[in-house]
Structure 1
Amino acid sequence: MTKKQYHCEKCGCLEYTADQIQATGGDFSKLFNVQNKKFTTISCKECGFTELYRNETSTGMNVLDFLMGG
């Protein structure tokens, strides 16, 4: 697999920053504040345009998150 070079769709910049966010999804997880949705963010360093990519979360981490209080 080759590494694809980043190119911002909005301004054409070639530099980015990557980060992760977590969010709740569904009624049960909202009720108990379990953040069972995980996303990687790719943000353009020039204009800030950000794309989200969904990641898989493990059941064990979801249970641990619930037990630790979200």
Structure 2
Amino acid sequence: MNKKRLSAQPIREGIAEISGMIKVVWRDYRWNTGRVVRDWHIDPDSAEGLEIKVRSVECKKTSGKAS
């Protein structure tokens, strides 16, 4: 059976100032199946009321070889 290996790339993230520090609130990943999944770094309920800015995440592919 030939199964395709799953992989995901980060595509965007939400950031906010929390206690005087800029923190990642969530990050969206696009899987090689086309599905987009959001990974929360804080409790989603506590994000209510935060001023969240969305920014794109560029991920450079690596060959996996150490240089």
TM-score (norm 1): 0.30
Higher relative contact order (CA 8 A, sep 6+): 2
TM-score (norm 2): 0.31
Q: Which has the higher strand share?
A: 2
